[in-house]
Structure 1
Amino acid sequence: MSFNRKQARLKIIQKGVLAMLPLNLAVLPWGILCGSLSIQRGFSVLEALLMPILVFAGAVQLVVIELINDNTPLATILFTALIISSRHFLYGLALRDKLKNLPFKWRGSLGFLLTDELFALSGDQKAYQGNLQLVYAISAGGSFYLCWLLWNIIGIVAGSYLPDLTSIGLDFAIAVTFIALVIPSITNVAMLVTVVVAGCLSVLFKLFNWELGLVIASLIAMYCGYITANKQAKTPIMKNNKDIP
């Protein structure tokens, strides 16, 4: 019986790693960019390694590296990192009911590994239900963490020999990764409205150079999606009421 359990665990670990593999490969240019940029901006090898090990957030890493290079005050750096990472608070709220009864070792591990990519794999209603599903999530998130660290290490080595990789458009990998995450999640009109509004407003606010434009665009888009979902939910009820004589 224990042998069968061990086999089941190994199989679910393999399944989690394979499920995350396309995203692990998709962020390869992004990780290399983060690692090389930190070296080219004057970070030591140890400092460059600590960024992916402790921060584990690509967008935050890129922005913080540039802010530190520009001698930006610590308070500004922390506030900027908080704003960029604020979506993870929403991820946590979305998964709260599934994780609240778990021991801290599971909640802490999943909380650290909860990236955009792992959240994208959490849409199934059965996600995190049962030990095997938890092992699946940990293995998927853990493989992404290890690959992200590996890509950063390659970037750290490359940063000493190659020119600034931002000049060859390698940062476009960031946009490609998020497009790959967002498109499959558009399964209803409310999601479509949210994505379209967020995309249009973020571009508009960028043209006006609004520092918090992305956050404002996200909040407005979520509100529009919420209104659309409510109207969709009420429409069948209104139709049924009209059929009653």
Structure 2
Amino acid sequence: MKNENLPEVSTSEQPDGCELLSQKEKWRLFRQGALAVSPLCVAVVPWGLLAGSFAIDAGMDVFQSMAMSAIVFAGAAQLVATGLIKAGVGLFTILLTTFFITSRHLLYSITMRQTISPLPLRWRLGLGFLLTDELFALCGNQTPERFQPWYALGAGLWFYLSWNLATIAGIFAGKLIPNLESLGLDFAIAATFIAIVIPTIQRWPVLVAVIVALLTSVLMAALDMKGGLMIASLLAMICGYLTEKWIGNHPIHREKPETQQGEFK
């Protein structure tokens, strides 16, 4: 997501990660980031309510449930881990499952490495902790010249606070409202990822990957196959990669190198 008001100043050209900015400019960028992520914060509220209520239902106390959101800060991983805890699954299985669910963040960090690496360690650690699907959707495609740490910090920190507030509300709602999960709040998970993915579909390889992932995941669910989501993800990545290679080898794109390969006309 682009913001035309962001000054085009490379973080690598700024000492100590953008210290040339005035306090007023830092605060302006921080507020812009928080405002940009606010719609996703609203969309994630039902998800946070569900995560908080699930934690209580799994037998955690209030402090443990709050700490899970404050420390783990990963919606899908929290829901799955909570379900495994409730089922009495061992620690190793929980850690391994959580690792695979959150492994996409490794791809996020690789994508943003060129942008983040010039920053001081405190910025890299802070933004690394705050890196979510939502933050990546906002800043993942920004060039090093357009990327502003204070903008990313505003977006990431505001989303972090919103997630934890929603989780706290879910913790107390789980104590007061029975069968909260029956209200269909889990649809917020799908709705949030749809809102994140749709704007990124600007090239044919991405479209192919999304369609393959959609059809395969539905088929795997219909067949009740374990690990279907992982199979769908791998197959989608392979198909997207093959589409990228095919487009790159197409004579039309070899003749027009200035056009981004696979971009919609």
- TM above 0.5, one fold? yes
Q: Segments of 4+ in structure 1 off by > 6 A?
A: none
In 2, are the aligned partners of 1:30 and 1:170 still within 8 Å (CA)? Answer: yes
Q: In structure 1, what is the Cα distance between the partners aligned to 2:81 and 2:140?
A: 30
2:135 corresponds to which of 98, 109, 118: 118
The letter for the 1-side match of 2:245 is N
Identical-pair percentage: 47
2:45 corresponds to which of 22, 25, 28: 28
Length-normalised TM-score, structure 1 = 0.91
Instruction: Answer with 206-215 or 185-194: which moved more.
Output: 206-215
2:162 corresponds to which of 147, 169, 189: 147
The letter for the 2-side match of 1:40 is D
- Per-residue CA deviations over 1:107-147 (Å, capped at 9, x if unaligned) read 11111111000010124433x547x7011001100000000
Q: Which residue of 2 aligns with 1:209?
A: 224
Q: Which residue of 2 aligns with 1:230?
A: 245
Q: In structure 2, what is the Cα distance between the partners aligned to 1:89 and 1:155?
A: 29
Q: Which residue of 1 aligns with 2:193?
A: 178
Q: Which runs of 5+ in 1 are unaligned?
A: none
Q: Which residue of 2 aligns with 1:45?
A: 62
Q: Which runs of 5+ in 2 are unaligned?
A: 1-18, 257-265
Distance 1:240 1:141, change over 3 A: closer
Q: In structure 2, what is the Cα distance between the partners aligned to 1:223 and 1:5?
A: 46
Q: CA RMSD in A?
A: 2.1
- Per-residue CA deviations over 1:142-175 (Å, capped at 9, x if unaligned) read 0000000000011111111101221111111000
Q: In structure 2, what is the Cα distance between the partners aligned to 1:185 and 1:240?
A: 26
Q: Is 1:220 aligned with 2:247? A: no
Q: In structure 2, what is the Cα distance between the partners aligned to 1:4 and 1:47?
A: 39
Q: Is 1:67 aligned with 2:84? A: yes
Q: Is 1:188 aligned with 2:185? A: no
Distance 1:200 1:25, change over 3 A: same
Distance 1:70 1:236, change over 3 A: same
In 2, are the aligned partners of 1:34 and 1:62 still within 8 Å (CA)? Answer: yes
In 1, are the aligned partners of 2:111 and 2:140 still within 8 Å (CA)? Answer: no
Distance 1:225 1:139, change over 3 A: same
Q: Which residue of 1 aligns with 2:125?
A: 108
Q: In structure 2, what is the Cα distance between the partners aligned to 1:52 and 1:151?
A: 10
2:102 corresponds to which of 85, 101, 104: 85
In 1, are the aligned partners of 2:55 and 2:65 still within 8 Å (CA)? Answer: yes
Structure 1 or 2: more helix by fraction: 1
2:212 corresponds to which of 194, 197, 204: 197
In 2, are the aligned partners of 1:39 and 1:160 still within 8 Å (CA)? Answer: yes
Task: Give how far 1:237 is off.
Answer: 5.3
Tell me the secondary structure at the aligned position of residue 135 of structure 1.
helix
Instruction: State how many pairs are aligned.
Output: 238
- Per-residue CA deviations over 1:175-202 (Å, capped at 9, x if unaligned) read 0000000111100111100100011111
Q: Which residue of 2 aligns with 1:164?
A: 179
Tell me the secondary structure at the aligned position of residue 121 of structure 1.
helix
In 1, are the aligned partners of 2:248 and 2:254 still within 8 Å (CA)? Answer: no
Q: Which residue of 2 aligns with 1:138?
A: 153
Task: Give how far 1:209 is off.
Answer: 2.8
